[in-house]
A and B are shown apart, each in its own frame.
Chain A
């Protein structure tokens, strides 16, 4: 079965603390994973994708095929990181369809 699991509905941290947003997936093929972010009163936007191996706004995510995970990490949280974060798995061949997790709300306290 194709599935994306984000076990935490809410993650609350203090400014400057490390952040790890968990994402696990179930997929029989070669996975392509993404993190999307939705800031308050803004539209959903791509944060990063695993194939790019990039760091965006200090966030990184490594695909671990053995643990079927794609956790999002940042060493020092900032208040402006507060948002809803969705992990997504590309399915459906060339159609670029995505399956989304249920999302994790990150709240960074001052």
Chain B
């Protein structure tokens, strides 16, 4: 099993451009999450999903949209990228049920110029 995979690994955007980050998991997990990791800030939750067709806002949702059309995929979109969105983005998934661990992807390093 590949676990949690993220595409792409690296990306450079210009301000105002759009892009979509793809997260895929092959563990049949119900829950999926998008985080951003910034120096000195730790990981902050952007959006999450508790099942196919559902999404919810996390701690820092502004400037991002998400979709969970298929259970195994969770997409993170940036409609108009800003330099403040330069970060490393991590996707994670978790089985349903209280207290289950989250499994993380390898991350996507995004730079917005």
Contact = CB atoms under 8 A, between A and B. Distances in A.
**Do these two chains really belong together in a complex?**
yes
A51 interface: yes
Q: Which of A9, A44, A102 has the most chain B CB within a 10 Å cutoff?
A: A44
A40 interface: no
A6 B35 CA distance: 18
A9 B42 CA distance: 10
Contacts of B31: 95-96
Interface size, A (range): 20 to 34
Nearest to A34: B101
Contact of B42 (A86, A90, A95): A86
A95 B40 contact: no
Interface residues of B, number: 30
Interface in A74-110: 86, 90, 94-103
Contacts of B101: 34, 46, 49
Contacts of B98: 94, 96
A102 to B, nearest CB: 4
B1 to A, nearest CB: 14
A97 B43 CA distance: 12
A99 B59 CA distance: 9
A43 B4 CA distance: 10
Contacts of A34: 101
Q: Which of B4, B96, B97, B101 has the most chain A CB within a 10 Å cutoff?
A: B101
Nearest to A38: B104
Nearest to A96: B94
Contacts of A44: 43, 90, 92, 104
Interface in B61-113: 90, 92, 94, 96-107
Contact of A96 (B40, B102, B105): B102
Contact of B58 (A45, A96, A97, A101): A97
Given A9-B40, A51-B99, A94-B96, A43 B107 contact: yes
Closest 5 CB pairs of A and B: A102-B42, A44-B104, A100-B43, A46-B101, A100-B42
Interface of A: 4, 6, 9, 32, 34, 43-46, 49, 51, 86, 90, 94-103
